[in-house]
Amino acid sequence: MSDQGRWLPALTSQLSGLRIAAHNACMRILVVEDNEGIAAGLRTNLMQRGYAVDVCASVAEAWHALSAERFDAVLLDLGLPDGDGSEVVRRLRLQTGRPGVPQLPDPATPVLILTARDQVQDRVAGLNLGADDYLVKPFDMDELEARLRAMMRRAAGQASPVIRHADLEVDPAARTIRQAGQKVEVSPREFAVLWALLLARGRVLSRPQIEEHLYSWGDTVESNAVEVYVHHLRKKLGQKIIVTMRGVGYFMPQEQE
Ligand code: CA
C-alpha cells in the first residue's frame, strides 16, 4: 500500500496514453496498396496513432480480407497489379445483408481512395461507385487521419441506411420495401436485384453484373433468372420502376422532380 504513491502517477500517465491508443485500437484499417514503401509507411504511421492495420497489395487480397474480417475503414490505392481498386468499392457496395446476421464483406465499410495526381477520371469513377472520400498522393498523415476519422464518424452516425427512391423506401438491414408507405413483399433474390439497381441508380447494370449480386447467396443462377426477377419486381412495384436497355442491361431511372 505504501508503494501506491510511487507508482500511481506513472500508471496514470501510462493510462492516459493507453486511452488515446485504445480509442483508436478498436479501429481496424485495411490498407490496399501495392507500393511497398507507401504501404509500410502507412502501416507504421497508423499503428503509431493506435490503429490496428492490415495491409494487402491486390484486388483479390483486398476482397479476401474484407470477406474474412470487419474493417472500420479501407484506404484504397487504385492502380493495383490485378486490376483497378475501384472494383473493390463496386463489389463492396453491391453486397446485401441478411436481417440480424453480421455480413461480410460489410457493404457499409467506409472507403477512402488514395490516388496519383493523374488519375482524375479514376478518382471520379471511384467516388461514383461508392467511395466516401479521396486523397491525392503524396498526402499529409494528419490530413489522412482527419479524413479517416470524419469518414468513420459519418459511417457510425448512419443509424438507418434506408434508401429512398421515388415512392420507395428500401431498408437493406430489415430487407423491407415500402411503396407509398405500404409494405411490398419480395423474395430475397428479388430484393437483391432491386438493391443492386438501386445502388447503381441512373447507371445501366449488365445481366452478369446483376447476377454477381445473386451469386452471393451461394447457389447457381439460372440463365434467365435476372429477367424473371425483374419481371416480378415490375409486377409488384410498377412497370416503370426498372428500364430495360436492350442488349445492354437494366437500370433504375433517376428520380424525376
Ligand atoms: Ca499502385
Q: How far is the CA of 84 from the centre of ligand 1 (A)?
A: 9
Q: How far is the CA of 116 from the centre of ligand 1 (A)?
A: 9
Say if residues 76 and 114 touch (Cβ distance below 8 Å). Answer: yes
Read off the pLDDT band of 80 (50, 70, 90): very high
Q: How far is the CA of 57 from the centre of ligand 1 (A)?
A: 8
pLDDT at 156 over 60: yes
Say if residues 75 and 115 touch (Cβ distance below 8 Å). Answer: no
234-244 tens-digit pLDDT: 999 999 999 99
Beta carbons within 8 Å of 220's beta carbon, 6+ residues apart = none
Q: How far is the CA of 120 from the centre of ligand 1 (A)?
A: 15
Read off the pLDDT band of 173 (50, 70, 90): low
Q: How far is the CA of 65 from the centre of ligand 1 (A)?
A: 18
Q: How far is the CA of 83 from the centre of ligand 1 (A)?
A: 10
Average pLDDT rounded to a whole number, residues 98-107? 67
Q: How far is the CA of 51 from the centre of ligand 1 (A)?
A: 22
**Percent over 70 (pLDDT), the chain:** 78
Q: How far is the CA of 56 from the centre of ligand 1 (A)?
A: 11
194-232 tens-digit pLDDT: 988 887 778 888 988 788 666 544 456 677 889 999 999
Average pLDDT rounded to a whole number, residues 122-132? 83
Q: How far is the CA of 122 from the centre of ligand 1 (A)?
A: 12
Q: How far is the CA of 81 from the centre of ligand 1 (A)?
A: 7
pLDDT at position 213, please?
66
What span, in angstroms and rounded, lies between the C-alpha atoms of 131 and 162? Answer: 18
pLDDT at 102 over 50: yes
* Sign of CA pseudo-dihedral 256, 182, 191, 232: negative
Q: How far is the CA of 80 from the centre of ligand 1 (A)?
A: 5
pLDDT at position 105, please?
87
- Sheet with 163-165: strands ordered across: 163-165, 168-171, 176-179, 182-184
pLDDT at position 237, please?
96
Average pLDDT, the chain: 80
103-136 burial code (b ≥16 CB/10 A, e <16):
eebbbbbbbbbbbeeebeebbebbbebbbbbbbe
pLDDT at position 199, please?
77
Of 14-28, 55-69, 100-114, 172-186, the range with the highest mean pLDDT is 55-69
Q: How far is the CA of 198 from the centre of ligand 1 (A)?
A: 31
> CB count, 10 Å around CB of 89?
25
Q: How far is the CA of 96 from the centre of ligand 1 (A)?
A: 29
Average pLDDT rounded to a whole number, residues 117-121? 72
What span, in angstroms and rounded, lies between the C-alpha atoms of 251 and 186? Answer: 18
pLDDT at position 251, please?
93
Neighbouring residues of the ion ligand 1, judged by CB less than 5 Å: 34, 77, 79
Q: How far is the CA of 114 from the centre of ligand 1 (A)?
A: 9
pLDDT at 134 over 70: yes
What span, in angstroms and rounded, lies between the C-alpha atoms of 11 and 33? Answer: 38
pLDDT at 4 over 80: no
Read off the pLDDT band of 69 (50, 70, 90): confident
Q: How far is the CA of 77 from the centre of ligand 1 (A)?
A: 6
What span, in angstroms and rounded, lies between the C-alpha atoms of 233 and 190? Answer: 7
